[in-house]
Amino acid sequence: RKVSGGAAGLGPVVGGSLNCVSFSSGVCWANSVERKIYIPLNRTAPCVRLLNATHQVGCQSSMNGDTGVIHVVEKDQDLNWVLADGPHPPYMVLLEGELFTRELMLRLKGTSRVSGLAVAISKPSPPRGFSPGLQCPNDGFGVYDSDYGPQYAHCNWTVWNPLGNGLSYEDFHFPIFLLEDANETQVIKQCYQDHNLPRNGSGPEYPLCAMQLFAHMHAVTNTVTCMRRNSIQSTFSLSPEVVCDPLSDSNVWSTLKPINASRKMDPADEVVIVATRIDSHSFFWNVAPGAESAVSSFVAHLAAAEALHKVPDALTLPRNIMFTFFQGETFDYIGSSRMVYDMERNKFPVRLENIHSFLELSQVALRNSSALWVHTDPVSGRNESVRPQVRALVETLLNSSLGVNVTLQEVSQSQPLPPSSFQRFLRARPIPGAVLADHRAAFQNRYYQSVYDTAENILMRYPEGLSPEETLDYVTDTAQSLAEVATVVARALYQLAGGTGNTSAIQADPRTVSRMLYGFLIKTNNSWFQSIIKQDLKGLLGDEPPQHYIAVSYPVNTTQLVQFVLANLTGTVVNFTKEECLNPERAPGADKEMYDYTWVQGSREPNSTSRVPFCVQSTVHLTKALSPAFELKEWGSTEYSTWTESRWKDIRARIFLVASKELEIITLVVGIAILVLSLLATYFINAKAHVLFSSPGDVAY
Amino acid of residue 333 = Y
Measured from the CB atom, the residue of 438 and 645 that comes closer to ligand NAG is: 645
Considering only 557, 563, 627, 644, the residue that binds ligand NAG (CB under 6 A) is 557
* Largest interatomic CA distance in the chain: 119
Considering only 239, 607, 609, 610, the residue that binds ligand NAG (CB under 6 A) is 607
Least distance in angstroms from the C-beta of 389 to ligand NAG: 9
Stretch that binds ligand NAG, among 10-18, 181-189, 230-238, 319-327 (CB under 6 A): 181-189
Contact 641, 629 (CB under 8 A): yes
Closest CA to 303 of 103, 607, 568, 101: 568
User: What are the φ/ψ torsions at residue 116 (nearest 5 degrees)?
Assistant: 175, 175
Considering only 22, 31, 193, 572, the residue that binds ligand NAG (CB under 6 A) is 572
Least distance in angstroms from the C-beta of 677 to ligand NAG: 35
Do the strands 371-375 and 407-410 form a parallel or antiparallel pair, or are they unpaired?
parallel
Measured from the CB atom, the residue of 27 and 187 that comes closer to ligand NAG is: 187
Considering only 325, 348, 518, 528, the residue that binds ligand NAG (CB under 6 A) is 528
Q: Is 39 in the site for ligand NAG (CB under 6 A)?
A: yes
Rounded to 5°, angle at Cα 64 from 63 and 69 = 120
Q: Is 542 in the site for ligand NAG (CB under 6 A)?
A: yes
| CA distance linking residue 21 with residue 17, whole number of Å | 12
Contact 338, 627 (CB under 8 A): yes
Stretch that binds ligand NAG, among 88-96, 157-165, 454-462, 550-558 (CB under 6 A): 550-558
Q: Is 52 in the site for ligand NAG (CB under 6 A)?
A: yes
Least distance in angstroms from the C-beta of 382 to ligand NAG: 8
Query: What distances in angstroms separate CA 19 from CA 16, 26, 275, 431, one per listed residue?
Result: 9, 13, 55, 65
Measured from the CB atom, the residue of 183 and 502 that comes closer to ligand NAG is: 183
Stretch that binds ligand NAG, among 274-282, 469-477, 534-542, 624-632 (CB under 6 A): 534-542
Measured from the CB atom, the residue of 510 and 571 that comes closer to ligand NAG is: 571
Least distance in angstroms from the C-beta of 257 to ligand NAG: 13
Rounded to 5°, angle at Cα 424 from 355 and 225 = 140
Contact 335, 328 (CB under 8 A): yes
Residues 6+ apart with CB under 8 A from 611: 531, 601, 602, 603, 604, 605
Measured from the CB atom, the residue of 57 and 406 that comes closer to ligand NAG is: 57
Closest CA to 363 of 307, 438, 309, 456: 438
Least distance in angstroms from the C-beta of 325 to ligand NAG: 17
Least distance in angstroms from the C-beta of 468 to ligand NAG: 8
Q: Is 670 in the site for ligand NAG (CB under 6 A)?
A: no
Q: Is 185 in the site for ligand NAG (CB under 6 A)?
A: no
For the residues of 406-428, what is the DSSP string, one character each? -EEEEPPTTSPPPS-THHHHHHH
Contact 303, 513 (CB under 8 A): yes
Sign of torsion, CA 214 220 226 232?
negative
Measured from the CB atom, the residue of 480 and 572 that comes closer to ligand NAG is: 572
Interface with ligand NAG in residues 423-442 (CB under 6 A): 430
Residues 6+ apart with CB under 8 A from 678: none
Contact 47, 285 (CB under 8 A): yes
Amino acid of residue 369 = S
User: What are the φ/ψ torsions at residue 207 (nearest 5 degrees)?
Assistant: -75, 150
Considering only 6, 543, 665, 675, the residue that binds ligand NAG (CB under 6 A) is 543
Considering only 53, 226, 411, 581, the residue that binds ligand NAG (CB under 6 A) is 53
| CA distance linking residue 125 with residue 456, whole number of Å | 9
Interface with ligand NAG in residues 377-416 (CB under 6 A): 383, 385-386
Do the strands 355-361 and 433-437 form a parallel or antiparallel pair, or are they unpaired?
parallel
Measured at CB, which residue is nearest to ligand NAG?
Answer: 542
Considering only 540, 622, 653, 657, the residue that binds ligand NAG (CB under 6 A) is 540
| CA distance linking residue 227 with residue 247, whole number of Å | 12
Least distance in angstroms from the C-beta of 634 to ligand NAG: 11
Measured from the CB atom, the residue of 231 and 603 that comes closer to ligand NAG is: 603
Q: Is 314 in the site for ligand NAG (CB under 6 A)?
A: no
Amino acid of residue 62 = S
Measured from the CB atom, the residue of 183 and 235 that comes closer to ligand NAG is: 183
Stretch that binds ligand NAG, among 182-190, 443-451, 582-590, 685-693 (CB under 6 A): 182-190
99 by DSSP, 3-state: which? Answer: helix
Q: Is 200 in the site for ligand NAG (CB under 6 A)?
A: yes
Q: Is 612 in the site for ligand NAG (CB under 6 A)?
A: no
Q: Would you give the DSSP letter of residue 196?
A: T
Q: Is 541 in the site for ligand NAG (CB under 6 A)?
A: yes
Contact 92, 210 (CB under 8 A): yes
| CA distance linking residue 346 with residue 626, whole number of Å | 17
Measured from the CB atom, the residue of 76 and 194 that comes closer to ligand NAG is: 194
Least distance in angstroms from the C-beta of 594 to ligand NAG: 5
Residues 6+ apart with CB under 8 A from 77: none
Q: Is 575 in the site for ligand NAG (CB under 6 A)?
A: yes
Do the strands 244-246 and 248-255 form a parallel or antiparallel pair, or are they unpaired?
unpaired
Considering only 94, 295, 379, 532, the residue that binds ligand NAG (CB under 6 A) is 532
| Cβ burial, residue 130 (10 Å; 0-12/13-18/19+) | buried
Contact 188, 94 (CB under 8 A): yes
Measured from the CB atom, the residue of 228 and 688 that comes closer to ligand NAG is: 228
Least distance in angstroms from the C-beta of 583 to ligand NAG: 15
Interface with ligand NAG in residues 62-101 (CB under 6 A): none
Q: Is 57 in the site for ligand NAG (CB under 6 A)?
A: yes
Q: Is 286 in the site for ligand NAG (CB under 6 A)?
A: yes
The binding site for ligand NAG (CB under 6 A) comprises 39-42, 52-55, 57, 140, 169, 181-184, 187, 199-200, 260, 262-263, 286, 383, 385-386, 430, 524-525, 528, 531-532, 540-544, 547, 551, 556-557, 568, 571-573, 575, 591, 593-594, 603, 606-607, 616, 638
